[in-house]
């Protein structure tokens, strides 16, 4: 079982990729802030459904006979819900530099939170393995 | 789109604003450049234009400096009979540069430059955090 098969890590990686993509779009907005006719773009909100998926994910019983009931919670494996790419939303053409700066800062802070969580998860894993963390 | 492309997009923004600053500097420097002889055209104000270009290599929409357009508005004229470029009525044609407008433009370019620089700084911090994961 690789690290990416664990829901926590795949969810955090998704979130980090989302912030990375958003940073690129925000960079575009700032660079093109004074280009006439430019339409600013931003990413759609990170789908919290995928984030909550791993908290509610539970083990499902395997049906060895067709008569068995399925007791899975309906939420499949998290990996099935991983996003291949993110949807981009256009939002007006007027770009406010202040607003973009705020978005850039928020994006960075959220990204840092995600990387911190990632590091903590790795540390927990090391504790579980019996290594001094 | 990875962090490197974010950095490169911000870098094009820096380049564009630098080019704009250069044109503004030209305008301000030549604000009093009248012609040498009567009938000569004085310096004509230039305007930088920006355009959005999709860069395949970067994978994003970068900004590029387009054509340097000429400001076709009227020249100003001042009454200076002693000037070598004065016409028969004693008026000299001066450039259509308004120093006030250029100063405001300059400030705007400066702010935009700072904003792009801020994006570079923040992106570098995020990149640093990614590498921090390696340290565990």
| Residue B113 structural domain | 3-135
Contacting residues for A45 by C-beta, under 8 A, at least 6 apart: none
From the list B59, B61, B126, the residue facing A108 with the nearest CB is B126
How many domains is chain B built from?
1
As for the ipTM of the complex, it is 0.84
Whether the model clears a pTM of 0.95, i.e. scores above it, the answer is: no
- Nearest residue of B to residue A16, measured between CA atoms: B130
pLDDT in tens, chain B (136 residues): 789 999 999 999 999 999 999 999 999 999 999 888 888 889 999 999 999 999 998 888 999 999 999 999 999 999 999 888 888 899 999 999 999 999 999 999 999 999 999 999 999 999 999 999 888 6
> Following DSSP, what letter does each residue of B11-74 receive, concatenated?
HHHHHHHHHHHHHHHHHHHTTT---SSTT---PPPEEEEEEEEEETTTTEEEEEEEEEEE--SP
Taking an 8 Å cut-off on Cβ atoms, the answer to whether A36 and B50 are in contact is: yes
Q: Which residues pair with B62 in a beta bridge?
A: B53
Model pLDDT for residues A3-16, shown as the tens digit of each residue: 778 888 989 999 99
Model pLDDT for residues A87-101, shown as the tens digit of each residue: 777 765 678 888 899
On chain B, the residues whose CB falls within 8 A of the CB of A112 are 125-126, 129
Taking an 8 Å cut-off on Cβ atoms, the answer to whether A115 and B132 are in contact is: yes
Chain B contact for A102 (CB, 8 A cutoff): no
């Amino acid at each position: 079982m690789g690290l990416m098969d664990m829901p926590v890590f795949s969810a955090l990686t998704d979130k980090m990729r989302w912030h990375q993509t958003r940073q690129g779009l925000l960079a575009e907005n700032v660079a093109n802030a004074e280009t006439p006719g430019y339409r600013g773009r931003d990413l759609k909100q990170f789908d919290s459904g995928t984030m909550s998926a791993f908290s509610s994910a539970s083990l499902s019983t395997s049906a060895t006979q067709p008569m068995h009931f399925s007791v899975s919670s309906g939420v499949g494996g998290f990996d099935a819900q991983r996003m291949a790419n993110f949807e981009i939303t256009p939002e007006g053409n007027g770009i406010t530099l202040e607003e973009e700066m705020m978005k850039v800062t928020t994006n960075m802070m959220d990204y840092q939170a995600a990387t911190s969580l990632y590091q903590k998860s790795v540390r927990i894993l090391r504790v579980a393995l019996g290594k001094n963390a | 789109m990875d962090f490197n492309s974010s950095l490169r997009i911000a870098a094009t923004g820096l380049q564009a604003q630098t080019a704009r600053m250069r044109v503004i500097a030209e305008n301000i420097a030549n604000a009093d450049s009248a012609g040498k002889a009567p009938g000569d055209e004085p310096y004509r104000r230039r305007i930088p234009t920006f355009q959005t270009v999709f860069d395949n290599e970067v994978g994003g929409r970068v900004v590029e400096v387009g054509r340097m357009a000429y400001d076709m508005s009227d020249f100003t004229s001042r009454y200076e009979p002693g000037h070598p470029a004065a016409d028969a009525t004693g008026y000299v044609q001066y450039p259509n540069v308004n120093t006030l407008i250029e100063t405001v433009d300059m400030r705007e370019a400066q702010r935009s430059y700072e904003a792009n620089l801020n994006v570079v700084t923040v992106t570098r911090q995020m990149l640093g955090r990614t590498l921090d994961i390696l340290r565990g």
